[in-house]
């Protein structure tokens, strides 16, 4: 009888182990399936968001065209900087980009040519860039003075950093815009050569 009871106890233990093992496998499969569905859903949403963001970026890029202007070279400047301990010099080439007017590059009628001996030919139309350069020439002394005043009030340490150069460019643009009085607007200030000694 004792052997019979031991066999029944052994069978019961085997049944319990098999039941526990089967329930663990089923729970593992259920959790794996749920985890897969959740991750798949999250990945689908993220991919959709990325695609929408990419489309928004592309549409924004199409709308953000950089305004192009007319470049006016102000030439080279050699200046004393405002350093107190030691005299420092700055050699810089400055150019500004000013806005265009609607009348700058208007439709020009070509010169009428007649079939005679040179009589009756209209003069060739003036180069629009030449006209703009002449217009800007009247402001050039005041603009150069504004650049000199602005840069010579800086120290070499202020102009050594990129942030310092950008601040100087903004200040120069503001000064020049006040000189131009709204006729044109400074879009950018560029430093071609920038040497501090």
The answer to whether residue 178 is domain-embedded is: yes
Return mean pLDDT, the chain. Answer: 79
96 against 61, higher pLDDT: 96
pLDDT of residue 167: 92
- pLDDT-based confidence at 14, cuts 50/70/90? confident
- pLDDT-based confidence at 62, cuts 50/70/90? low
User: Are 177 and 140 contained in the same domain?
Assistant: yes
User: Are 97 and 182 contained in the same domain?
Assistant: yes
**Above pLDDT 70, what percent of the chain?**
72
User: Are 52 and 133 contained in the same domain?
Assistant: no
Structural domain including 179 reads: 70-103+126-196
Q: Which of 40, 65, 90 is the last residue of a domain?
A: 65
pTM of this structure: 0.56
70 close to 97: Cβ distance less than 8 angstroms: yes
Please classify residue 102 by burial: count the beta carbons closer than 10 Å to its beta carbon, then call 0-12 exposed, 13-18 middle and 19+ buried: exposed
The answer to whether residue 110 is domain-embedded is: no
The answer to whether residue 97 is domain-embedded is: yes
Per-residue pLDDT of 165-186, as tens digits, reads: 999 999 999 999 998 888 888 8
112 close to 121: Cβ distance less than 8 angstroms: yes
User: Are 78 and 151 contained in the same domain?
Assistant: yes
Q: Report the CATH number at residue 191.
A: 3.30.479.30
Q: Give how many domains the chain has, as a whole number.
A: 2
Phi/psi of residue 97, each to 5°? -115, 115
Please classify residue 96 by burial: count the beta carbons closer than 10 Å to its beta carbon, then call 0-12 exposed, 13-18 middle and 19+ buried: buried
| Region 95-108 average pLDDT | 72
């Amino acid at each position: 009888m004792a052997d019979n009871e031991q066999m029944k106890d052994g069978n019961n233990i085997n049944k319990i182990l098999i039941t526990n093992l089967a329930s663990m496998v089923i729970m593992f499969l259920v959790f794996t399936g749920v985890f897969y569905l959740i991750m798949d859903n999250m990945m689908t949403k993220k991919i959709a968001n990325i695609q929408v963001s990419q489309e928004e970026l592309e549409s924004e890029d199409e709308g953000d065209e950089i305004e192009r202007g007319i470049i006016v070279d102000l030439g080279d400047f050699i200046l004393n900087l405002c350093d107190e301990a030691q005299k420092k010099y700055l050699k810089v080439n400055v150019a500004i980009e000013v806005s265009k007017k609607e009348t700058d590059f208007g439709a020009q009628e070509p010169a009428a040519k007649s079939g005679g001996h040179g009589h009756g030919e209209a003069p060739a139309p003036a180069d629009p860039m030449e006209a703009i350069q002449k217009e800007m020439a009247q402001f050039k002394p005041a603009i150069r003075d504004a650049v000199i005043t602005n840069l010579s009030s800086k120290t070499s340490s202020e102009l050594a950093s990129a942030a310092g150069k950008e601040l100087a460019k903004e200040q120069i643009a503001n000064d020049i815009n006040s000189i131009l009085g709204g006729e044109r607007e400074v879009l950018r200030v560029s430093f071609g050569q920038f040497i501090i000694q």
